[in-house]
Amino acid sequence: MTELVTLKQEHQTAASLYGDTVHLTELFEAVRKVAPWANDRKQPMSAPEIALVVRKAVAMGLDPLNAHEVQIWKDNRGSINFQIGYPLLIEWVRHFHGEHTEPQYTRLSAEQLQEEGLSAADVAYRVTFMMKKDIAGLTALLAAGYKPEEARRMLEVSGLGTASASEYSGQYFAPNGRSKSWKVQKRAITDAYRRKFGSPNRSEIEELRRVGGFDNLRPEDWEATGGLSADSAQALAESAAHWRERDEAMETDPQYKAEQEAKTTEVSSSLWGGEIVEVPATEWSDEADAANNDEAAMDAAERAADEAEAAMIEELQAEADAGLPGTPATIPDDRPHWKSRAAAIAWAIAQGAFGEPDSGTAPHARNAFDKVKAEHNPENFAAMSDLWYVDVLRRISEKAPV
């Protein structure tokens, strides 16, 4: 009976974060596909181990795909480690317990290391800080006759971060751009937070996710984040969630769709003097697609694309000269002419169509390019280039203030 109640509670807990069993299965599949901790080459996890971690994360209200929320790894002994993410811990302290003074770090001497039971070759830092709401209490203690050192010790929060000599000397001990001392100091302040405040509970984590805007992320939003840093992965997932919600609204909310189309038309007109429309395609094939990604066939593909493009421009110009409805102004003669899919995507990223160019937007841009191709089935690379040009301009106009 107890086991049945526990299973029911687990199901309800999972459903409150990602929905029913179907959504939990989607989360499991997404984790197996993109989560670095589930695909570590040295310590790979089995499917049952991944399922166990996913259930534990969901039970705590955490997203196992978001490295800012939870750190997961399998050590050399085969044990699975599960730790609240440092960024989430910092935000939890600030949101629920208040601000504190600037942390002060002190590296332990050989004598102090011995006092802590550590080796003389180990590295350790002690951190101290005071919660700002306790500063008034410090004044009261001084007024009561306590010495400054005594009063401060009574209110001060402290923690200890350590690293063994072999760990500290490891090549990959600290992330790129960070010193090894920073890693030990981070451990120290994490220890101080836990000593003083414990750990966040499920309801607090859920509130932080709502406040941070992470509660709308779904497993599919993380699909293109494999191999990215934690910051880039989260930025890409948030971007994917934004476009997913927008597409859903365009399909289900006619008023929203009309407003977005009107906004796009207005901005496009101000930028290019006419409404942006899609250019008719002529020919596309898998062989042509392969040629555009094969350096040996690049010259031939480029010549064919140029010929097709020249014919298309002549047709558009003829329509314009005859007074027929057409929008040659929306595809200017000097628009970029790319030699490959990679070049077209790189140009779009540089324009800021998918966010800041250095924020890990390449996977999102590649997905968008492939989506345009799948939706319109262009018949050659020149036609695809025009469609891509139009799509990028649309994205830029939607980001522009109106």
pTM above 0.75, yes or no: no
Ranking 17-21, 246-250, 392-396 by mean pLDDT, the lowest is 17-21
C-alpha distances out from residue 235 to 31, 67, 115, 377, 379, Å: 17, 12, 44, 29, 34
pLDDT tens-digit series, residues 239-252 = 777 777 777 877 88
Q: Residue 334: pLDDT band by 50, 70, 90 thresholds? A: low
For residue 97, give every residue at least 6 positions away whose Cβ sits within 8 Å of its Cβ, in sequence order, or none.
131, 196, 197
pLDDT tens-digit series, residues 78-128 = 888 888 888 899 999 999 999 999 999 999 999 999 999 999 999 999 999
Residue with the larger pLDDT of the pair 67 and 218: 67
Average pLDDT over residues 331-358: 73
Q: Residue 293: pLDDT band by 50, 70, 90 thresholds? A: very low
pLDDT at 194: 93
Residue with tokens 């069993």: 21
Average pLDDT over residues 55-67: 87
Q: Residue 41: pLDDT band by 50, 70, 90 thresholds? A: confident
Most confident of 39-53, 253-267, 293-307: 39-53
Residue ranges per structural domain of the chain: 2-83, 88-212, 253-399
